[in-house]
Amino acid sequence: MLSKKTKYGLKALTFLAAQKGRAPVQISEIAKHENISQKFLESILLTLRKTGLLGSKKGKGGGYYLIKEPKDIPMTTVMRVLEGPIAMVPCVSLNFYEKCEDCPDEASCSVHKLMLQVRDSTLEVFRNNTLADLVP
């Protein structure tokens, strides 16, 4: 299940991408337009800024804005920042790999075999989509 953090993050990014210019947009405006708890959104935008996806400007006329062009922001990046691993099990994760405690042998593990396919197909979707593709 997609977390609300990811859901809200995606909506906020799309909203920013849909802006005409790259002028800062206030948190309150995004929250209002997308029906998101403002405080919760604050923490999400903060994460996105720390990761380098967003820039921010303080003071009057401040807010958040995209640093790169939407077409240059692949969904793989966004999803990993917001949701974490794309794989459903750590033992098939590219960026967050962990060995299973129980499983003695990955090569012969049925779960591993299936989830590897799921990871690959999901990854392909995220690689084929940039933020620009999400803007209506």
Partner DNA sequence: TTATTACCCTATCGATTTAATAGAGTAAGC
Partner DNA sequence: GCTTACTCTATTAAATCGATAGGGTAATAA
| Contacting residues toward a copy of itself, per CB under 8 A | 1-2, 7, 10-11, 14, 34-36, 75, 85, 88-89, 102-103, 108-111, 113-115, 117-118, 121-122, 124-126, 129, 133-136
User: If contact means CB under 5 to 8 A according to the sort of partner, which of DNA, a copy of itself, none does residue 5 touch?
Assistant: DNA
Per partner kind, with CB cut-offs from 5 to 8 A, the member of DNA, a copy of itself, none near residue 106 is none
Which option in DNA, a copy of itself, none does residue 110 bind, with CB closer than 5 to 8 A by kind?
Answer: a copy of itself
Q: Are 24 and 63 in contact (CB under 8 A)?
A: yes
Which residue number, 71 or 90, has a Cβ lying nearer to DNA? 90
DSSP letter assigned to residue 13: H
Nearest partner of 45 among 66, 20, 19, 72, judged by Cα: 66
Rg of the chain taking only CA atoms, in angstroms: 17
Q: End-to-end distance of the chain based on CA atoms, in angstroms?
A: 24
